Chains A and B, each alone.
Chain A
Amino acid sequence: MSMLPKRIIKETERLIADAAPGINARPHEENLRYFDVDITGPEQSPFEGGIFKLELFLPEEYPMTPPKVRFLTRIYHPNIDKLGRICLDILKDKWSPALQIRTVLLSIQALLSAPNPDDPLANDVAQHWKDNEPEAIAKAREWTLNYAERITPPQ
């Protein structure tokens, strides 16, 4: 494997030293292009109180190609499918090399606050959101409790 570009080193340093609130990203020791990410569910969203695990990978051509990001924790969201794939324009055709790991993760955090059922990835969830939003939100909250609940240490 080739040497890690300066940009990735700089970005990693900043991610660790000056983390964005509610976002925690750490690279694997054996592969510095592979990150374990935790995103805290935003307040006043059905994902509040949950911690969602994601994986992020920087392809060889990064930053000319977008990072690959996927949810590992199950989540009931119209733009995230069963496999954790995310429908977000900046991860696809709207990618710009001026974006960074930090900005991508912030965008994902914002997507949790503002689900967009008109641009769905998980069709059934999006339909549910459109047909009966309160019920869909309730279900998302339930999933958060079931799958993404904060683990409190035993007393």
Chain B
Amino acid sequence: MKFGKSLGRTIEDIPSEWRPFVIQYKTLKRSNPIQIRPYIILNLDAHEHSPDIQHILETTHTEFTRCDSGSVSSLLSLRTTDSNDTETNSDPHDYVTDVISSDSISPHPESIDQSRRITYIKLETDGEFFNTLFEEISQFKHLQQQKQDEFVNNMDRLRELLINVAEIFVGNTESDRNERSCKNAQDQFKWFVDELFRTELTSKFKLNSSREAFHEFLRINNDLIAMKHFQSLNETAMSKILKKHDKQTCLAASPSFEKLLENDPYIIKNMFKSLCFTMNNQLSTVIPQPEDHTCPICTLIYWKPIRLSCGHVFCINCLIKAERKGMRNCPICRSRDSIYNANASNLDKPLRNFLKLYFPKEVKAKQAEVDKEAAKEEMDMLARCQFSTNKYACYIM
């Protein structure tokens, strides 16, 4: 009862055009069939007490079959063990009809397996309930599919926009990564937006189309989060109504119903994964990633990148160190005298400017590293000079 109310309230957060697709919890609750199992147990008990036949009820569980029309019928399977083989084989039908007649449920062909038998009973009212639920879910799935297509289209559009706009700010990369690592992105997205406002990145856009791309990106994120919310709401509603159903009818139907859904072509749970994957695929190829611009020697972002005659790029510092060690050839392709012949003209200025623009944080960190190294070297040099003047002072002077 509580959940029905809270569902009604949270529904208001959801875009109005999605509302009809929320599981009709209240309607389902009303159509929930009541108390089937006790009757069956009662009848079974009657048999148990009869002297010649003993049926021991082992398990009852519900199975589902799907008709061609797409509707679902629910079958109750009773697994019973007979202590007296010869007797039982003679009158299974009697026993079943007995059970059935007390319950206004139509019998279904049953299968017999020697000493153990499984009886299937078709449950009419129960089937109706599941049919409604199933319909609701397929509607919801349909909406999801539609939305997914929409997202993919949006992504394509955003991608095209990004391609058109050469100057996109680094923030896009950051948020893209957030989306990937954390599906429950609401908080992180909020943080991202706050961060953006704080740094006033939006005002730095020079082109109109980059602003457009940015808004598109925000919109996609918003939709995605709303969808996530909507989905989890439906999921809870489904599990709640199933629980209620199980409780009222004493049929353990929810595990098998979930199994039934798993076989569906559109698995609900994978939607977000696949969306993230699309996002990843579409965007990360367009948006520059710092990992694509790291020096193979220091494994950090290039600092004053030098492009050797063979086309391979390294930090200037790394090459100077290599040259001091007497290396002349390219560290990657061993192209002859690549390092030896390099000079100031080998500095890749466009790349350097590009890195400064897109990865200011990484470049700064690398700069600090380089400065530290230089300071250390200087100190070493100083110490060595002191050491040598002390030790060899008399020889030199």
Contacts and interface: CB of A to CB of B under 8 A. Distances in A.
Interface of A: 2, 5-7, 10-11, 61, 63-65, 96-98
A59 to B, nearest CB: 12
B296 interface: yes
A6 B369 contact: yes
B299 A6 contact: yes
The majority secondary structure among interface residues of chain A is loop
Interface stretch (B2-10, B246-254, B260-268, B318-326): B318-326
Contact of B296 (A61, A64, A65, A98): A98
A7 B314 CA distance: 14
The 10 closest A-B pairs by CB, nearest first: A98-B331, A96-B331, A7-B299, A98-B296, A97-B297, A98-B332, A64-B325, A10-B299, A97-B331, A64-B321
Interface residues of B, number: 17
Interface of B: 296-300, 318, 321-322, 324-325, 327, 329, 331-332, 334, 369, 376
A58 B369 CA distance: 20
Contact of A97 (B300, B322, B334, B376): B322
Given A64-B322, A96-B331, A97-B327, 7 more contacts: A5-B298, A6-B298, A7-B297, A64-B325, A96-B334, A97-B322, A98-B331
Most chain B C-beta atoms within 10 Å of own C-beta, residue among A61, A64, A65, A98: A98
A78 B380 CA distance: 42
Nearest to B319: A97
A72 to B, nearest CB: 28
B298 A7 contact: yes
Nearest to B365: A6
A94 to B, nearest CB: 8
A96 B334 CA distance: 8
A84 B249 CA distance: 75
A51 B61 CA distance: 53
Contacts of B325: 61, 64-65
Given A6-B369, A64-B325, A65-B325, A97 B318 contact: yes
A2 B369 CA distance: 14
Nearest to A63: B297
Contacts of B296: 97-98
Contacts of B298: 5-7
A96 B332 CA distance: 7
B315 to A, nearest CB: 11
Contacts of B297: 7, 63, 97-98
18 contacts: A6-B298, A6-B299, A6-B300, A7-B298, A7-B299, A7-B300, A11-B299, A61-B325, A64-B322, A64-B324, A96-B329, A96-B331, A97-B297, A97-B318, A97-B322, A97-B327, A98-B296, A98-B331
